Amino acid sequence: MMRALLLIPLLVVPVVHGITLHIYIYGQGVNAFLYVNGSFLSVSRNDTVEVPNGTVQLFVNSFDPSSKVFINGVQTDNLTFLPWRVNNINITSEPTYYFLEIKVVGPGHVVVRFENSSQVETNETLKIKVVAGTILTIVGVPNSGYSVNWSGGLSGSQIWYIVYNNANLTAQFVKSSVVKTTNVGLSFSGIGLLAVIGGVYWFTRRR
């Protein structure tokens, strides 16, 4: 009977001096910080660490401010826990996606170029799904005698569009009233060469 009574405290209160904590990170651009006994421990990849048997605070920092962070399936960027109760930590970073709908009106088409150099074209309506913060290069290609007008006050045949929410963009191709002119461009290297030749000629004439 005495032996059974002596075993009861061991079963109720876990006496552990060090706890093994497994941390798994899914996604990119995430750093985790463990605050234990007044000091920080940084974790940026899957790792196993030893922590004291006490309260642990976990803080997760994502380099992408638009991403969603989950800790053990709950959307949060911080967690306070006891490691002898929770010794597996799963950190997941999921990017936020938005839709951009591009509508083409009139005789022409639109080319959408992505950051990885791939592209798509449309002469009707196109709906694309991209990660928040994506920079798109959008080119309006009108038929002969037409020019492009963009919604939202954008101008130019080529625009750069940053996707930060669900949005709509219209490219309207209209009859062009602008007479095309030919501009002669001079490079800075060409101007420098002309300056050198002129200087040599001036110096020779003086002599």
Residue 17, pLDDT score: 60
User: Would you state the CATH architecture of domain 15-94?
Assistant: Sandwich (2.60)
In this prediction, residue 192 has a pLDDT band, given cuts at 50, 70 and 90, of very low
The domain ranges of the chain are: 15-94, 97-175
Instruction: Write the secondary structure of 109-173 as one string of H (helix), E (strand) and C (coil).
Output: EEEEECCCCCEEEECCEEEEEEECCCEEEEEEEECCCEEEEEHHHCCCCEEEEECCCCEEEEEEE
* Nearest of 152, 142, 138, 137 to residue 173 by alpha carbon: 142
Residue 178, pLDDT score: 56
According to DSSP, residue 179 is labeled P
Residue 66, pLDDT score: 82
Higher per-residue pLDDT: 2 or 187 = 2
Contact 149, 177 (CB under 8 A): no
Which has the minimum average pLDDT: 61-70, 173-182, 185-194?
185-194
Domains 15-94 and 97-175 share a fold: yes
**97-175: CATH homologous superfamily?**
Collagen-binding surface protein Cna, B-type domain (2.60.40.1140)
Each residue of 159-168: pLDDT tens digit? 999 999 999 9
